Structure 1
Amino acid sequence: MGQLIVTDKDKCNLSYTCVRVCPAKAIKIADKYAQILPDRCIGCGQCVTMCAQQAIQYRSDIEIVKSLIGQNDKVAAICDPAISGEFTDVADYRKFVAMIREIGFDIVTEMSFAVDLVAYKYKDLVDSFQGKHYITTKCPPVVSYIEKQEPELVENLAPIVPPYIAMAKIIHKRYGDDVKIVYLTACTAAKDEKKQFYHTDGHIDGVLTFVELRQLFAQKGITEKTVEFSEFDPPLGRKGGLFPISHGLFQAVDINQGLLEGDIIITEGRTNFLQSIKEFKQENQLNQHLDLFYCKGCIQGPGTSQGGKKFTRRSQVIKYVNKRMKAIDAYQWRLDIEEFKTLDLNRNFKSKDIRLPIPSKEQIDAVLADMGKSKQEDQLGCGACGYPSCREFAVAHLQGLTDYEQCYTFSIKKLRSYVNKVNASNEKYRKTQEALVISEEKARVEEKLAREAAETTTAMLNKLRAGVVIVDEGLNVIEANERFVEMIGDDAREIAEVVPGLKGAELKSLVDFHKVFASVLQSGQDVLERDVEFANSIINVSVFTIKRHEIVGGIIRDLITPEVRKEEVIKRARDVIKENLETVQQIAFLLGESASKTEKTLNSIIEAQQLGEKHGSGK
């Protein structure tokens, strides 16, 4: 069947966004791309939705569904109620029901009836409270996370099947056990969770996300204009249609949780989910049941179309349920509830503890020291690596999930070490300068070589994906790469067309964070990893000394869409220094002095030498 979520290494640009959003440490950076660790993955799909390069994808069941439809057995579709929020472009729900039938499904049902049935089970659990608090198990990523990452809470998982499995049980009871079932949903984790029910009366044969469903419509040329109205097959649900919205499950049985009398905490979204679990397992912190969605409700699940508006989808679901409530036969609904309330909706859970060992403080401190982060103030973390703090990054490194190159500040410091070597070479250059002025011709040759080297460096800087700018003590630009010009806007581009590299331009007229450069020039103290707002974006600025109180360099990086490949920057710096140290020395000199200053200095040295010779001959 294959791994649920995989990465296309050719598309991965190592932005680390996936690492940042993964709650299960299920992503490892290796071989220069982000690798999904299937045993740790909980199938939440956040890495899929957050990857701007679309390098991460979930497993498709389209071919499985086509195969099922091509067989002789009847095939039923279970529609997650979130479908009304997904297909906001379809005027009437009866149209997308008909479109689903047109694919080849013999039976098209809605999960809302199963939600009604399951909600009564939860109501019984709450009403018969005997001191034990439960966590709802309607959301597959929530269950998977607790089994793998919080195994001590497995006993607190409500022993109730998710609604789509309950609906599968209903279909098998009413339409026959040989009916094949496909679940249409916003959830990617259900693709793997269904395997736990293979040998039960709730077995499901395939799971299609709404995105995959749209792909099937497109492949078969099905639109709302090509079909007539069609209704869902019974049994039909009532308020269970609110399931995709936070609090919708308990709304189905009219449990309205007020702030004073309520005993259920209802929340959604990755951050709230993790925080609620953290507090729930702390004794006497949360003495309430938890009703959780890992996503921001099913209406925002990873299997929905990108760019959907949460509150528009929410209002569509509510509008749909209101419309359905007016049309549904309440008497028939009660008969259906009576018919199916004896179904076994219980389930069991087991610990799958895959927590990684926590390194000792000594081990963590050793890694931080290797990274040059021994001081507490250096361990706050910029978040660019995907981890919230340097200490957590060090833990992940010891657990085999990261390498040092993933740390942006480590790479910057490594780059700075090369710059320091260039600065150190200035002293050696000054000692050899007398040899360069033996003849004016030789000086011209050396100047020409230096100019060529400077052009090479400019070309190299323009290859970098981070903005680079070097300024003198008056905040006048000595050198800037093309990425820096692009980042600061149209005015800079116009200047660069006239003056390449913005040479001589005033930094304070170009950017509003010039004070960072002024501060480093004045204090001589580097400023690293400072986040500032600029042009409706958040950028990360590192300013370091090239020549104390005279020249500083800045590296500017867009934190929202990280693009810099640090390996390439380090490799280029290493290659330039190793292959042509003399050229680097000249470049450092050229960065510190303009061409006119160079000529003036050389002439003054020649005159001083000639004057010394006259005095020497006088003796």
Structure 2
Amino acid sequence: MAQLIVADKDKCNLSYTCVRVCPSKAIKIANRHAQILPDRCIGCGHCVAMCAQEAISYRDEQTIALELLRSKQKVAAICDPAISGEFNDVSDYRKFVAMIRALGFDLVTDMSFAVDLVAYRYKDLVDNFQGKHFISSKCPATVKYIERHEPDLVENLATIVPPYIAMSKLVHKRYGQDTKIIYISACTAAKDDTRRFHGTDGAIDVVLTFLELRKLFKKERITENTVEYSEFDPPLGRKGGLFPISHGLFQAVDINQGLLEGNILITEGRTNFLQSIKEFKEEKEMNQHLDLFYCKGCIMGPGMSPGGKKFTRRSQVIDYVDKRMKAIDVYQWRLDIEEFKSLDLTRSFKQVDLRLLQPKEEEIDKVLVEMGKGKREDQLGCGACGYPTCREFAVAHLQGLTNYEQCYTYSINSLRSYVNKLNASKEKYKQSQDALMKSEEKARNEEKAAREAAETTTAMLNKLRAGVVMVDTNLKVVEANRRFIEMLGDDARDIAELIPGLKGAELTKLIDFHKVFTTVLQSGQDVLDRDVTYGNSILNVSVFTIKKNEVVGGIIRDLVTPEVRKEEVIKRARDVIKENLQTVQQIAFLLGESASKTEKTLNSIIEAQQLGEANESGK
């Protein structure tokens, strides 16, 4: 069967309310949502009632109940007396009895009689006290808590079945062992507790809460206006109807609970429940029996409609019992008590020790330091984590039930630290962004300068009368001026119109003396003033390194053109002067001023040549 209490991770908002109210440390926070630990859970349902997000729910048995009711088997309902505190919107109890019958029940019984029967067994324990104080076992959440979390007290549990099991036994005895039982209650813990008695004459097949019962009425469209009055099937109880409120069980058999005469401590609610068990275990002077409700009476159980008022419900239960007491046939009640007093109402318990190991003090102190609560004044305990003190939180952490993020102050400090780191990162990001903007601006300026320089260089190259070309290591043109393109002819000019400067063109397909460029690329040694034949022209080629083994440039002059030819004559005449200057100087040493005259004569020849060129160009 499905787990009794479950949590919906999508609805959980980590309020830790469930952790705060759980008496058995059966809830841990993992993967950012509450998780129920079924082995530790006692089924009290307090977490269900307290979760405002409705992220925790108990096992719904409506479908199983409907299947049973629609079968051909005889089905009896056992109604917890708290039903009178639930259906305050129904005018007469006989109406909700009829509404229950309308769902398909063959029998509708009131558990009050079983309470009367069980109360006599408790009276026997009180009257025949043998020195061992008992803890009542009527509340299934109490029983399960002691079995699992206070196993040393199991032998103090009264070995008496809860009233709903007693009622199941007598229904089976009177109406047949084949009768199926559906218990209608305010208690969620009963859903699992009844499973202990499967296979016995006290078996209960389904447990419905009052909330589930209301949903069935709505689903089947049953209201008090659709039914007539109906009475509970016998046997009928008397004061047992007071069971859902404190003192109700023992008032059923008039056990005196005066402060001086009584020896039974009757208490209710989570805080009193835990404290009374603790003192019962530790305080030898207590000398009292315990009658415990985990809830604030069954009238405030998790199976009741939310928002109900305790004392209003208490008043409704008392009024209901008072009316029934006036109408009941006391003689018949006594006959019924006599008939069923021989029923075996004994039970046993399971001692399952789920107590968690208590960590060492130094381990607890270490956790507190890691949480930033090393000082006593920092361990006040706000309770936001779900634990009453920081120390208890640290213990739960060492037991694997909590994580540091549950601690409010730890989370705040971590958040502050994160915010500080975030601010520091933000400042670094801003600085990086400013630096990046400056870098981008610088890059744009450099790009602009480079573009302008490139344009200037291209313009300058195009002004030169010599052809200029630059190539990369693959002999692809990086840049070429207009003069170089003109030297290559019409095909190159056509290409240049599509690809300015022949950029990317393969030099090997443009000229046949490309090996000169290859030589310079490989050797890194410049080749200057090499004359080569190209078509009908003689070209003077100089190739030099721009970036070693990667980029070289070439200056190419057509020696056939007049201007180049004249420049070349002058240049080579100067080379003659330079090459023969040493010889002239030696002759001058012998001939005195003859050398200088010779130089003047040669210079006059050059000047005459240049003057002639100027006159020709003037024409």
TM-score (norm 1): 0.69
Stretch of structure 1 that moved more, 330-339 or 382-391: 382-391
2:93 counterpart residue number: 93
- In the TM superposition, residue 422 of structure 1 has moved relative to its aligned partner by 6.8
| Distance in 1, Cα, partners of 2:183 & 2:426 | 69
The question of whether the paired residues in 2 share the 8 Å contact of 1:117 and 1:341 is answered with: yes
- In the TM superposition, residue 163 of structure 1 has moved relative to its aligned partner by 0.2
| Distance in 2, Cα, partners of 1:425 & 1:8 | 37
- CA displacement, residues 393-452 of structure 1 (integer Å, 9 cap, x when unaligned): 1111111111111111111111222344578799999999x99xx9xx9xxxxxxxxxxx
- Describe the shift of the 1:380–1:285 C-alpha distance in structure 2 as closer, same or farther (beyond 3 A): farther
| Distance in 1, Cα, partners of 2:425 & 2:64 | 65
1:26 counterpart residue number: 26
Stretch of structure 1 that moved more, 117-126 or 412-421: 412-421
Larger Rg: 2
2:223 counterpart residue number: 223
Q: How does 1:317-356 map to 2 (within 5 A)?
A: 317-356=317-356
1:187 counterpart residue number: 187
Q: How does 1:109-508 map to 2 (within 5 A)?
A: 109-421=109-421
| Distance in 2, Cα, partners of 1:83 & 1:68 | 22
4+ aligned runs moved over 3 Å, structure 1: 418-432
- In the TM superposition, residue 285 of structure 1 has moved relative to its aligned partner by 3.8
| Distance in 2, Cα, partners of 1:430 & 1:214 | 62
- Describe the shift of the 1:406–1:236 C-alpha distance in structure 2 as closer, same or farther (beyond 3 A): same
- In the TM superposition, residue 76 of structure 1 has moved relative to its aligned partner by 0.1
1:261 match: secondary structure:
coil
- In the TM superposition, residue 93 of structure 1 has moved relative to its aligned partner by 0.2
Counterpart AA for 1:333:
W
Aligned residues: 440
| Distance in 1, Cα, partners of 2:131 & 2:90 | 47
- Describe the shift of the 1:426–1:118 C-alpha distance in structure 2 as closer, same or farther (beyond 3 A): closer
The question of whether the paired residues in 2 share the 8 Å contact of 1:364 and 1:391 is answered with: yes
The question of whether the paired residues in 2 share the 8 Å contact of 1:80 and 1:110 is answered with: yes
- Describe the shift of the 1:427–1:193 C-alpha distance in structure 2 as closer, same or farther (beyond 3 A): closer
1:449 counterpart residue number: none
Counterpart AA for 2:55:
A
Stretch of structure 1 that moved more, 257-266 or 409-418: 409-418
2:102 counterpart residue number: 102
Q: How does 1:30-69 map to 2 (within 5 A)?
A: 30-69=30-69
| Distance in 2, Cα, partners of 1:78 & 1:426 | 67
| Distance in 1, Cα, partners of 2:308 & 2:355 | 34
| Distance in 2, Cα, partners of 1:426 & 1:65 | 61
Counterpart AA for 1:99:
M
2:282 match: secondary structure:
coil
- CA displacement, residues 374-410 of structure 1 (integer Å, 9 cap, x when unaligned): 1111112111111111111111111111111111111
The question of whether the paired residues in 2 share the 8 Å contact of 1:118 and 1:166 is answered with: yes
Unaligned runs of 5+ in 2: 442-619
1:523 counterpart residue number: none
- In the TM superposition, residue 32 of structure 1 has moved relative to its aligned partner by 1.1
| Distance in 2, Cα, partners of 1:419 & 1:171 | 67
Counterpart AA for 1:198:
H
- CA displacement, residues 105-143 of structure 1 (integer Å, 9 cap, x when unaligned): 000000000000000000000000011100001100000
| Distance in 2, Cα, partners of 1:209 & 1:252 | 24
1:291 match: secondary structure:
strand
| Distance in 2, Cα, partners of 1:155 & 1:130 | 14
1:572 counterpart residue number: none
- In the TM superposition, residue 256 of structure 1 has moved relative to its aligned partner by 2.7
The question of whether the paired residues in 2 share the 8 Å contact of 1:209 and 1:304 is answered with: yes
Counterpart AA for 1:97:
V
| Distance in 2, Cα, partners of 1:429 & 1:15 | 35
2:492 counterpart residue number: none
| Distance in 2, Cα, partners of 1:141 & 1:315 | 25
Counterpart AA for 2:327:
A
1:71 paired to 2:74 = no
Counterpart AA for 2:257:
Q
- Describe the shift of the 1:431–1:213 C-alpha distance in structure 2 as closer, same or farther (beyond 3 A): closer
1:2 paired to 2:2 = yes
Stretch of structure 1 that moved more, 349-358 or 237-246: 349-358
Counterpart AA for 1:339:
E
2:78 match: secondary structure:
strand
- In the TM superposition, residue 363 of structure 1 has moved relative to its aligned partner by 1.2
The question of whether the paired residues in 2 share the 8 Å contact of 1:132 and 1:156 is answered with: yes
The question of whether the paired residues in 2 share the 8 Å contact of 1:81 and 1:111 is answered with: yes
1:115 match: secondary structure:
helix
- In the TM superposition, residue 255 of structure 1 has moved relative to its aligned partner by 1.1
- Describe the shift of the 1:297–1:427 C-alpha distance in structure 2 as closer, same or farther (beyond 3 A): closer
Stretch of structure 1 that moved more, 121-130 or 371-380: 371-380
The question of whether the paired residues in 2 share the 8 Å contact of 1:188 and 1:303 is answered with: yes
| Distance in 1, Cα, partners of 2:427 & 2:200 | 79
Unaligned runs of 5+ in 1: 442-619
2:416 match: secondary structure:
helix
1:496 counterpart residue number: none
1:466 counterpart residue number: none
| Distance in 2, Cα, partners of 1:79 & 1:256 | 27
| Distance in 2, Cα, partners of 1:376 & 1:293 | 36
Q: Percent identity?
A: 76
1:563 counterpart residue number: none
- Describe the shift of the 1:216–1:422 C-alpha distance in structure 2 as closer, same or farther (beyond 3 A): closer
| Distance in 2, Cα, partners of 1:51 & 1:401 | 19
Stretch of structure 1 that moved more, 151-160 or 378-387: 378-387
The question of whether the paired residues in 2 share the 8 Å contact of 1:26 and 1:38 is answered with: yes
The question of whether the paired residues in 2 share the 8 Å contact of 1:279 and 1:285 is answered with: no
User: What is the aligned-residue RMSD (CA, Å)?
Assistant: 2.3
Counterpart AA for 1:247:
H
